[in-house]
């Protein structure tokens, strides 16, 4: 039993905005009151629900490839020493699994969502997630470039496609569906890309990226998955891609959707030298369409490694940087490219990207619909979130940073005209309550009675980045895991998944197709539930109306 | 394209199941829709399966690949220089043309490339060539690994430590330096005072100084069989063979994980069980490490 | 001066990055004795392995067979280290100034990723002299390394600036992926010298077996070699060539990159 006494509580899920009150914990849940037990004096401190990362890449074949590609970064980065109770690890651009848990917990995040898992290597992702301590986890499975699915969608066999998706979710032990550059990754196997929403995809007669996203978002809604379709749009990172992004959003009217790393999809101009921000236009459309949520995918200057299923984009980036490049093709399902990259303030394109991420966070007016991410590790590493919080909370600091950018930037961005400063209440919304609701995690991002006891306590500090980077206490499932910078406990978190029902005939349909085009036998494909530590199956259909609550 | 490998004898399923025979939507005629090039220093059984066999002079792989890279960029290379690799300009021009017009090229390289003079640089050369070919068409390259779950060890070391192999934990966190920390170098230099060997037989394959050192120090072997290494070890523990009598996961060469389901029972414990028991006993010993909380420090 | 004598052979490698003028120069004797070194995984005091004489000086003198002692002079920026005996890996890695002199043989990774200063080895050296560590895009970025004897694989791997002189034969891949700087091979090299080089200069006084992707450009006696020769003479290194006895053949490459590196190979006039 634990009582957090006298802290200033920010709990947007329950409308609590900076009230001084006690938070009581019994076991792994928040309760109304406790008698006895431990007491934390949080007088003068700030209490948040544990952070939730809606979109990150921390486990699986791609990030693991990135680890192998960047030994020079591991050598210069923060090292975690082994001790009697803890494993060693390395931080940096692509942290090792144990370090990932320590670093997330170390800045008060207690739930993370791994956003891109091919079914074929889901077993690998789960093995890695088992080695990420402290935080609760979930993962999204890639569907938009799966050849079996694409054939079904081209044939217009919607019902069967829906059952196949349900089967895949069960097989991968995943929590939701992710679509990456629909059709584009499949086209990359022909060395091509899919940039137009209404043009047929290479290797198909009539199927277009637009068909894929419409059908997948309908499938997700009909299966009543807790998290809407998680969409990485076509034409990522390219100048002028705002038209593709708006087109995509129009295709999805009437369906729920989560738009991932929107920063990479909000550019105007028609080439690298004319690239500019179109975040105002994007935010205007977004603000008027409440069925959507998004995350920022903000960029910070510095070294990172970019990892995305968007293979064609990564090959372009490799040609632009002339540095290292890794490419993975995952049979019929997807692929992935990996390129180390340095965002430089002196580079006009990078400077625009930096501004666009912040602009979106500032121009989208409902904090329940825009979440803090960097698309780790693509825009920046997740452990740099506190720097973004500082940029959001202080217009003065933003202006200081902007002064260091090339003068030419002024005409290309709208950031200098924005004076908005986030409040602590809004920060608590975009890093915890909002992403928890978008993910359909009713137990998370919420300090109400009966919810999971994931709590962060910060020392109030005028240095915002320091405050959010070094919480005084982090409590995960009722246990104090971080105490003044020390990792005290490293409990094993839970892993969330959904298991929607499907027609038993689906397997009979899939098996012959599978044996035709996969190199693995059908029986070996699904991940057994026993292989996952602390699995927790969330029911479908229970949380579909959550968005309307906001 | 296979380079420095003999899949017909060493990876017998590779042709039939993965690379040559399978029929698919875009390659409906299977083998007939593919072109297979074999590059090796001698004629092996794999030659029969190939459309084109290029016999490179031993020790000239790196030079040959570098010439291909230069020709790909339309740079001048002299005939005499090409001849030193054992091949002619016409052959190389034809090869590059085929590579450039292929719809999807894949290069698999074996230990004939990666374990001969030049070692990692030979592999690096081929990987670079494949990357550069992507300016023309889709091309990939992948190593043909040895037997056992080599890839699995790589993959897990990477997610736990950040590095695939050649790792030292001496300083309390992982450090990487192949040549300094890789097993064979550590043993040859005599840099270790104990060896714990699981599912490998260095006593059969490593150079004599390494074997001599294994004999000098306490060597512990976990293996289903009594191996050369067992004979020079202080302790041999017989374990159940993984995949036959012990469950687990193996990673295929392309890093796809496959579940292992035991077919038979074994009276012996699995490697995992043995290690867990050793670990539990070590935990009971007095700790030599400091008990201070986790420290974060700058690396050495 | 601080004099350290190895009094007991370590059974496993000893990591002693404290043996650097920057660390020891302001320490009283007692602190030097208590300085931390690592014997395998165990932390121990410097005086468990060394007799310590002197204090508070930027000049170190090391005696004994230090071939298992690694990281001596790591990140040194000043002072001198004189080693009488063989020395282990990573000598002078990341150093930016000062002088290290070895009267004996050195191991791999001498002066890896160094930025300045001088390393002088009177015996033989191992591989990766002045190299960049695995995965790193930049090797040595300044300073000078002189080896009187032979050197191992990948001398000057990915080096950007600075000078490396090898008196004896260098093994394969000298100047691999070089992007600048100069390597003088007085005793020639085995194969693949200058492979994948982008820029930079390799000078060899003995015939080389070059990569097929190098093209012969000219033969002459470039004046800059005289300048180098004079600079090396200040370090006590004689570049034993006489322009009246022959000339250099200049090759450029590596065309596979494609690069603009140059290799000068000495060709004596037929006698």
- Tell me the three-class secondary structure of chain C, residue by residue: CEEEEECCCCCCCEECCCCCHHHHCCCCHHHHHHCEEEECCEEEEHHHCEEEECCCCCEEEEECCECCEECCCCCCCCCEEEEECCECCCCCCCCCCCEEEEECCCCCCCCCCCCCCEEEECCCCCCCCCCCCCCCCCCCEEEEEEECCCECCCCCCCCCEEEEEECCCECCCCCCCCEEEEEEECCCECEEECCCCCEEEEEECCCCEECCCCEEEEEECCHHHHHHHHHHHHCCCCCCCCHHHEEEEEEEECCCCCCCEEEEEEEECCC
Per cent of chain B over pLDDT 70 is: 96
The pLDDT of residue B298 is 57
Pairs of CB atoms within 8 A across B/C:
81
Contact A326, A308 (CB under 8 A): no
Contact A71 C133 (CB under 8 A): yes
User: Any chain B CB within 8 A of the CB of A355?
Assistant: no
- Closest-CA distance of chain A to residue B152, Å: 10
Of B82, B180, B288, the CB nearest to C212: B82
In this prediction, residue A474 has a pLDDT band, given cuts at 50, 70 and 90, of very high
The pLDDT of residue A543 is 47
Of C109, C127, C255, the CB nearest to B77: C255
The pLDDT of residue A546 is 44
Report in angstroms the alpha-carbon separations of A344 from A37, A313, A405, B249: 51, 19, 10, 42
User: Any chain C CB within 8 A of the CB of B69?
Assistant: yes
Task: Note the pTM of the prediction, 2 decimals.
Answer: 0.94
Contact C134 A71 (CB under 8 A): yes
The pLDDT of residue B37 is 97
Of C40, C172, C213, the CB nearest to B67: C213
- Closest-CA distance of chain A to residue B198, Å: 21
The nearest alpha carbon in chain A to C138 belongs to A72
Among the ranges given (A534-548, C132-146, C177-191), the one the predictor scored with the smallest mean pLDDT: A534-548
Per cent of chain A over pLDDT 90 is: 82
Q: Is the peptide bond between C258 and the residue preceding it cis, with omega within 30 degrees of 0?
A: yes
**Average pLDDT, integer, range A348-372:** 97
The pLDDT of residue C147 is 97
User: Any chain C CB within 8 A of the CB of B83?
Assistant: no
**Average pLDDT, integer, range A431-441:** 96
Answer whether residue B271 shows pLDDT above 80.
Answer: yes
Answer whether residue A547 shows pLDDT above 50.
Answer: no
The pLDDT of residue B293 is 43
Task: Tell me the average pLDDT of chain A.
Answer: 93
Residues of C in contact with B165 (CB under 8 A): none
Which token pair is A313?
């984009």
Of C68, C89, C256, the CB nearest to B69: C256
Of C42, C133, C256, the CB nearest to B66: C256
Per cent of chain C over pLDDT 90 is: 92
In this prediction, residue A329 has a pLDDT band, given cuts at 50, 70 and 90, of confident
User: Any chain C CB within 8 A of the CB of A70?
Assistant: yes
Q: Each residue of A161-211: pLDDT tens digit?
A: 999 999 999 999 999 999 999 988 888 777 778 888 888 998 899 999 999
**Average pLDDT, integer, range A339-352:** 95
Per cent of chain B over pLDDT 90 is: 86
Residues of C in contact with B67 (CB under 8 A): 212-213, 256
In this prediction, residue A333 has a pLDDT band, given cuts at 50, 70 and 90, of confident
Sort strands A479-483 and A473-476 into parallel, antiparallel or unpaired: antiparallel
**Average pLDDT, integer, range A326-338:** 83
The pLDDT of residue A64 is 96
Q: Each residue of B73-87: pLDDT tens digit?
A: 999 999 999 999 999
Q: Which helix (H) or strand (E) holds B274?
A: helix B271-284
The nearest alpha carbon in chain B to C216 belongs to B78
Of A69, A72, A323, the CB nearest to C133: A72
Residues of C in contact with A75 (CB under 8 A): 133, 135-136
Q: Each residue of A106-121: pLDDT tens digit?
A: 999 999 999 999 999 8
In this prediction, residue C131 has a pLDDT band, given cuts at 50, 70 and 90, of very high
Q: Which helix (H) or strand (E) holds A115?
A: strand A109-117
The pLDDT of residue A542 is 55
Residue window 200-229, chain B: list those with CB within 8 Å of chain C. none
- Closest-CA distance of chain C to residue A73, Å: 8
User: Any chain C CB within 8 A of the CB of B250?
Assistant: no
Answer whether residue B297 shows pLDDT above 90.
Answer: no
In this prediction, residue B29 has a pLDDT band, given cuts at 50, 70 and 90, of very high
Residue window 281-340, chain A: list those with CB within 8 Å of chain B. 315, 318-319, 325, 327-329
Which token pair is B107?
């290069």
Residue window 78-97, chain A: list those with CB within 8 Å of chain B. 78-84, 86-90, 92, 94-97
Contact C136 A72 (CB under 8 A): yes
CA A393 from chain centre, in angstroms, equals 22
The pLDDT of residue B299 is 67
The pLDDT of residue B245 is 94
**Average pLDDT, integer, range B264-288:** 91
Partners of chain B (3+ Cβ pairs below 8 A) = A, C
User: First CA to last CA across chain B, in angstroms?
Assistant: 42
Helix axes B150-161, A61-69, angle to 10 degrees: 80
Partners of chain A (3+ Cβ pairs below 8 A) = B, C
Contact B63 C212 (CB under 8 A): yes
Among the ranges given (A82-86, A520-524, B49-53, C42-46), the one the predictor scored with the smallest mean pLDDT: A82-86
Q: Alpha-carbon distance C52 to B58, whole Å?
A: 54
In this prediction, residue B290 has a pLDDT band, given cuts at 50, 70 and 90, of low
- Closest-CA distance of chain A to residue B36, Å: 19
Answer whether residue B291 shows pLDDT above 80.
Answer: no
The nearest alpha carbon in chain B to A189 belongs to B138
Residues in chain A: 550
Q: Each residue of C59-98: pLDDT tens digit?
A: 999 999 999 999 999 999 999 999 999 999 999 999 999 9
Residues of A in contact with C133 (CB under 8 A): 71-72, 75
The pLDDT of residue B300 is 60
Contact B138 A59 (CB under 8 A): no
Residue window 410-449, chain A: list those with CB within 8 Å of chain B. none
Report in angstroms the alpha-carbon separations of C50 from B155, C19, C58: 41, 11, 18
In this prediction, residue A549 has a pLDDT band, given cuts at 50, 70 and 90, of very low
Contact A540, A500 (CB under 8 A): yes
**Average pLDDT, integer, range C123-139:** 96
Q: Alpha-carbon distance B59 to B70, whole Å?
A: 19
**Average pLDDT, integer, range A57-63:** 94
Of B257, B289, B297, the CB nearest to A124: B257
Q: Each residue of A220-246: pLDDT tens digit?
A: 999 999 999 999 999 899 999 999 999
Please return the burial class of A185, using the count of CB atoms within 10 Å of its CB with bins 0-12, 13-18 and 19+: buried
User: Any chain C CB within 8 A of the CB of A420?
Assistant: no
Among the ranges given (A319-323, A336-340, A428-432, A523-527), the one the predictor scored with the smallest mean pLDDT: A319-323
Q: Each residue of A97-152: pLDDT tens digit?
A: 999 999 999 999 999 999 999 999 899 999 999 999 999 999 999 998 998 999 99
**Average pLDDT, integer, range C254-259:** 94
Q: Alpha-carbon distance A536 to A140, whole Å?
A: 15
């Amino acid at each position: 039993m634990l009582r957090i006494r006298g802290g200033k509580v920010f709990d947007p899920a329950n409308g609590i905005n900076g009230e001084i009150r006690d938070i009581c914990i019994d076991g792994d849940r928040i309760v109304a009151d406790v008698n006895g037990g431990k007491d934390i004096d949080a007088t003068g401190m700030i209490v948040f629900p544990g952070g939730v990362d809606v979109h990150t890449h921390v486990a699986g074949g791609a990030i693991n490839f990135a680890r192998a590609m960047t030994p020079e970064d591991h050598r210069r980065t923060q090292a975690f020493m082994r001790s009697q109770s803890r494993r060693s690890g390395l931080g940096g651009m692509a942290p090792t699994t144990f370090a990932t848990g320590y670093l997330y917990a170390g800045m008060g995040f207690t739930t993370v969502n791994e956003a891109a898992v091919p079914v074929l290597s889901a077993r690998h992702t789960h093995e890695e997630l088992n080695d990420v301590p402290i935080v609760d986890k979930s993962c999204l499975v890639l569907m938009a470039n799966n050849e079996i699915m694409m054939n079904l969608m081209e044939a217009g066999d919607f019902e069967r496609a829906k059952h196949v998706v349900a089967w895949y979710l069960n097989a991968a032990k995943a929590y939701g569906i992710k679509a990456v550059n629909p059709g584009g990754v499949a086209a990359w196997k022909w060395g091509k890309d899919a940039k137009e929403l209404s043009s047929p995809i290479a290797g198909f007669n009539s199927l277009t990226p637009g068909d894929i996203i419409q059908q997948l978002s309908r499938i997700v809604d009909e299966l009543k998955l807790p998290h809407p379709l998680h969409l990485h749009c076509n034409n990522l990172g390219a100048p002028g891609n705002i038209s593709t992004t708006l087109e995509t959003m129009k295709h999805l009217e009437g369906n729920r959707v989560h738009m991932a790393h929107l920063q990479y999809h909000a550019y105007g101009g028609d080439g690298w030298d004319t690239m500019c921000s179109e975040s105002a236009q994007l935010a205007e459309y977004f603000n008027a369409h409440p069925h959507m949520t998004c995350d920022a995918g903000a960029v910070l200057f510095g070294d990172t490694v970019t990892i995305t299923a968007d293979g064609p984009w990564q090959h372009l980036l490799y040609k632009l940087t002339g540095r290292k490049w890794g490419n993975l093709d995952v049979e019929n399902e997807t692929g992935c490219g990996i390129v180390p990259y340095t965002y430089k303030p002196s580079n006009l394109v990078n400077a625009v990207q930096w501004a666009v991420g912040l602009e979106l966070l500032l121009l989208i007016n409902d904090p329940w619909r825009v979440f803090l991410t960097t698309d780790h590790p693509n825009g920046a590493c997740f452990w740099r979130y506190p720097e973004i919080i500082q940029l959001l909370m202080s217009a003065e600091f933003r202006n200081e940073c902007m002064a260091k950018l090339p003068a030419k930037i002024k005409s290309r961005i709208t950031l200098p005209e924005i004076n908005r400063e986030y409040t602590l209440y809004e920060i608590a919304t975009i890093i915890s309550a909002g992403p928890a609701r978008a993910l359909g995690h009713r137990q998370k991002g919420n300090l109400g009675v009966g919810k999971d006891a994931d709590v962060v306590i910060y020392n109030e500090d005028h240095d915002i980045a320091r405050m959010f980077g070094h919480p005084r206490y982090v409590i995960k499932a009722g246990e104090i895991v971080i105490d003044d910078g020390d990792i005290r406990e490293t409990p094993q978190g839970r892993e969330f998944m959904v298991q929607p029902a499907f027609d038993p005939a689906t397997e009979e349909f899939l098996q012959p197709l599978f044996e035709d085009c996969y190199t693995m036998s059908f029986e070996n494909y699904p991940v057994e539930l026993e292989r996952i530590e602390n699995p927790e199956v969330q029911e479908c259909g229970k949380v579909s109306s959550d968005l309307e609550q906001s | 394209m296979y380079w420095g490998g003999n899949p017909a004898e060493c990876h017998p399923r590779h042709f039939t199941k993965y690379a040559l025979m399978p029929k698919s939507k875009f390659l409906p005629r299977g083998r007939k829709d593919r072109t297979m090039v074999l590059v090796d220093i001698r004629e092996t059984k794999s030659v029969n399966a190939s459309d084109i066999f290029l016999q490179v002079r031993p020790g000239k792989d790196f030079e040959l690949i570098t010439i291909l890279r230069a020709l790909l960029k339309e740079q001048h290379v002299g005939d005499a220089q090409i001849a030193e690799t054992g091949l002619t300009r016409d052959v190389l021009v034809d090869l590059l043309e085929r590579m450039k017009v292929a719809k999807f090229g894949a290069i698999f390289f074996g230990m004939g490339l990666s374990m001969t003079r030049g070692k990692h640089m030979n592999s690096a050369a081929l990987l670079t060539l494949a990357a550069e070919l992507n300016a023309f068409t889709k091309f990939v390259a992948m190593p043909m690994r040895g037997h056992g779950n080599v890839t699995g060890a790589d993959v897990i070391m990477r997610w736990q430590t950040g590095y695939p192999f050649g790792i030292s934990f001496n300083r309390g966190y992982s450090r990487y330096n192949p040549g300094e920390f890789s097993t064979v170098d550590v043993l040859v230099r005599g840099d270790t005072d104990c060896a714990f060997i699981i599912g490998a037989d260095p006593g059969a394959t490593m150079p004599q100084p390494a074997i001599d050192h294994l004999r000098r120090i306490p060597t512990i072997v976990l293996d289903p069989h009594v191996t050369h290494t067992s004979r020079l070890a202080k302790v041999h523990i017989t374990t159940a063979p993984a995949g036959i009598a012990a469950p687990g996961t193996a990673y295929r060469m392309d890093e796809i994980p496959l579940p292992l389901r035991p077919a038979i029972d074994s009276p012996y414990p699995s490697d995992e069980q043995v290690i867990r028991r050793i670990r539990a006993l070590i935990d009971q010993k007095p700790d030599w490490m400091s008990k201070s909380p986790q420290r974060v420090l700058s690396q050495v | 001066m601080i004099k350290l004598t190895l009094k007991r052979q370590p059974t496993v490698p000893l990591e002693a990055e404290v043996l650097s003028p920057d660390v020891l120069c302001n320490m009283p004797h007692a602190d030097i004795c208590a300085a931390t070194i690592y014997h395998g995984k165990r932390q121990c005091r410097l005086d468990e392995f060394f007799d310590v004489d002197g204090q508070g000086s930027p000049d170190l003198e090391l005696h004994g067979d230090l071939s298992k002692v690694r990281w001596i002079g790591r990140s040194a920026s000043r002072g001198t280290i004189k080693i009488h005996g063989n020395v282990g890996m990573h000598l002078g890695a990341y150093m930016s100034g000062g002088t290290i002199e070895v009267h004996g043989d050195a191991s791999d990774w001498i002066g890896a990723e160094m930025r300045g200063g001088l390393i002088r080895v009177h015996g033989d050296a191992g591989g990766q002299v002045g190299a960049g560590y695995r995965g790193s895009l930049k090797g040595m970025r300044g300073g000078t390394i002189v080896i009187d004897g032979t050197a191992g694989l990948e001398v000057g791997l990915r080096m950007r600036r600075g000078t490396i002189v090898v008196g004896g034969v260098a093994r394969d891949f000298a100047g691999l992926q070089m992007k600048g700087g100069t390597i003088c091979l007085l005793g020639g090299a085995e194969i693949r010298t200058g492979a994948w080089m982008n820029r930079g200069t390799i000078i060899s006084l003995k015939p080389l077996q070059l990569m097929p992707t190098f093209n012969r450009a000219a033969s002459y006696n470039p004046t800059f070699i005289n300048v180098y020769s004079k600079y090396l003479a200040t370090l006590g290194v004689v570049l034993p060539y006489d322009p009246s006895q022959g000339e250099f053949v200049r090759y450029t490459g590596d065309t596979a990159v494609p690069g603009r590196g140059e290799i000068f190979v000495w060709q004596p006039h037929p006698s």
